[in-house]
Structure 1
Amino acid sequence: MTPRNWFITGVSSGFGRIMAEQLLARGDRVAGTVRNLSVMDELKAKYRSQLWCAKLDLSETAAIRGVVDRAFAALGHIEMVVSNAGYGLMGAAEEMTDEQVRHQIDTNLVGSIQLIRAALPHLRAQGGGRILQLSSMGGQAAFPGGSLYHATKWGIEGFLDAVAQEVEGFGIGCTLIEPGGARTDFRHRSAQLAPTLDAYDASPSRMVNRIIADDSHPSPGDPAKMVAIMIASIDETPAPRRIALGSDAYHVMYAQLSARLAALEQQRELACSTDFPPEEGDENAPPWFAPNGVRSNAESQ
């Protein structure tokens, strides 16, 4: 297999670290970012020129483009860009401080958006590539106590869904990775809790406090297996738009998506009743808005 070049944010731990280790072990080159360069000393000593590292905190958006530019200059050609860095802010929405809200959005959403925007000119210039964006089952489903985390994951999913359509013609494929719970250090190191308010002690939002505090029920997902599937996905053509990983991810997303679709179907007549009456000749006119020129079911009936 011809070695490939990867750019990965957040390679100090979790999925990012496991991915970097798997790629380096098979002979690929990795440009990885971390907030503390010293945590990469062991891997750097082992893999030397295979591993290029830079300091980057995604919440410091002004620094992102410069790091991406330097990585492409150092490796010459990067086929895969993996937007992995992020964390979870948990607690009831009212409990979070303004600073926590801002930092969560700046890191998970704005930082990921700016990373992808910074990579796109390079990928276009070299004639293509792949973008893997770490989302979560929390990008398609929602639970009490995760409002801000969900806001960032649902936001980045909408962003990349649109970007994928914008850049497909340049040979750039985009994939959203939607893992369920995995046995990384996300729950007990990366996740942050908002200060608690007594008023929410009986709220369903306290579920996340109990999950983070309880070590007796490990997450079901094997992160090494999940990362192996992420890596293998870059050989699929066309790029899969989404990859669900973990039995919990599948069951949770299936249940919530099915409920949303059923609720939408019940509102079909109500939704269509708000249109202006059709005028003569409208049946032959193109829809005012239809991605890829495809009419919706409501428009075609």
Structure 2
Amino acid sequence: MTQRTWLITGVTSGFGRHMTEQLLARGDRVAGTVRRMEAMNDLKAKYGDQLWLAHLDVTDTPAIHQAVNQAFAELGKIDVVVNNAGYGLFGAAEELTDEEILHHLNTNLIGSIQVVRAALPYLRAQGGGRIIQLSTYGGQATNPGASLYHASKWGIEGFIESTMKDVAPFNIGVTIVEPGGARTEFRYGSARIGTKIDAYDASPASMTRRFIEGSTHLPIGDPAKMAKIMIDSVDQNPAPERIVLGSDSYNAIHKALTERLAALEAQRDLAFSTDFPVDH
């Protein structure tokens, strides 16, 4: 088994924690960014220098560059960069404050963009590497009551899909991971909900609010299994462009793409009608 060095944002919980635990157990090195250092005391005590940690708020662009620069300077070659840090913001668009919107986009979208931008010069200089971007089925399909969450995920998927074409000549593989619901802290820990507006009780947005606020439904996805698939994907060459994880994710994306393609094909003649004639 090839031993690698990984840089992972947001390792204190969720997929970041699961990946870190599995990687350390198999002998890889992990450079992890955290909001709370104490949350990693157990792994640091067990693995010592095999686990490198830096405090980072991914809404702070200069701090992102400082942390990435420091990780490469102290650890040398980093084989895989995993953009994992993020959270869900739910509610109808007008139920969210300006501050909530900006913080959410700065975390999920701008933060992920800046991590990639900070890492790319090093990956190019060392002759290649991998980038894994955590997204969700919500990067290709939508639910009511999640407009800003979808905005962040559709945005980062567009950025990453374009970037993977830009960096392919440098032997840098890029993968977008689209999990469905998983039994992590995402729903009951990090997810945030906007202030309720009663008028939306009559809107489908209220269904998402009730689902997030409820405590009876367990997501179907096993985060440990999902983390292992993400880790194992680095052995695939070329890198898979997307990895869909969970039956709920597969079903939602399949439905969305099928409906979108049917709607596009129905407009073929209309689209072609706006071209200049071939001989002009």
Query: So what's the TM-score if we normalise by structure 2?
Result: 0.99
Distance 1:217 1:152 in 2: 25
User: Cα RMSD over matched residues?
Assistant: 0.8
User: Which consecutive aligned stretches of 4+ in structure 1 deviate over 2 angstroms post-superposition?
Assistant: none
Q: How far apart, CA to CA, are the structure 1 residues paired with 2:264 and 2:2?
A: 47
Once the two structures are TM-superposed, the CA of residue 182 in structure 1 deviates from its matched residue by 0.3
Shift of 1:3: 1.6
Query: What is the Cα deviation at residue 213 of structure 1?
Result: 2.0
Match of 1:39 in 2: 39
In the alignment, which residue of structure 1 is the partner of 2:112? Answer: 112
Larger relative contact order (CA 8 Å, sep ≥ 6): 2
Q: CA deviation at 1:2?
A: 3.1
Matched, 1:178 2:167: no
- Residue type at the aligned position of 1:153: K
The reply to whether residue 188 of structure 1 matches residue 188 of structure 2 is yes
Q: CA deviation at 1:48?
A: 0.2
1:142-221 superposed matches below 5 A: 142-221=142-221
CA distance in 2, matches of 1:265, 1:44: 54
Aligned pairs, how many? 280
Q: What amino acid does structure 2 have at the position aligned with 1:146?
A: A
* SS of residue in 2 equivalent to 1:45: helix
Uncovered stretches (5+) of structure 1, i.e. residues with no partner: 281-301
Task: Write out per-residue CA displacement over residues 151-172 of structure 1, whole angstroms, 9 at most, x where no aligned residue.
Answer: 0000000001000000000000
Matches within 5 A, 1:1-301: 1-279=1-279
Range 3-12 or range 54-63, more displaced: 54-63
Shift of 1:84: 0.3
Whose radius of gyration is greater, 1 or 2?
A: 1
Q: CA offset at residue 183 of structure 1?
A: 0.5
Number of the residue aligned with 1:289: none
Q: Secondary structure at the match of 2:202?
A: coil
3-state SS, counterpart of residue 201 of structure 1: helix
- 1:23-73 deviation digits (Å, cap 9, x = unpaired): 000000000001111111111111001000000011112211110010111
Task: Tell me the amino acid that sits aligned with residue 233 of structure 2.
Answer: S
By how many angstroms is 1:279 displaced? Answer: 2.1
SS of corresponding position for 1:174: strand
Q: What SS does the aligned partner of 1:8 have?
A: strand
In structure 2, the partner of 1:283 is: none
Aligned-residue identity in percent:
62
Unaligned stretches of 5+ residues in structure 2 = none
| Alignment TM-score, normalising by the size of structure 1 | 0.92
* Code of the aligned partner of 1:58: V
Once the two structures are superposed, residues 161-197 of structure 1 have per-residue CA deviations (whole angstroms, 9 ceiling, x without a partner) of 0000000000000000000000001001110000011
Aligned equivalents of 1:65 and 1:272: distance in 2?
46
Letter in 1 for 2:250: Y
- Aligned partners of 1:141 and 1:184: how far apart in 2? 21
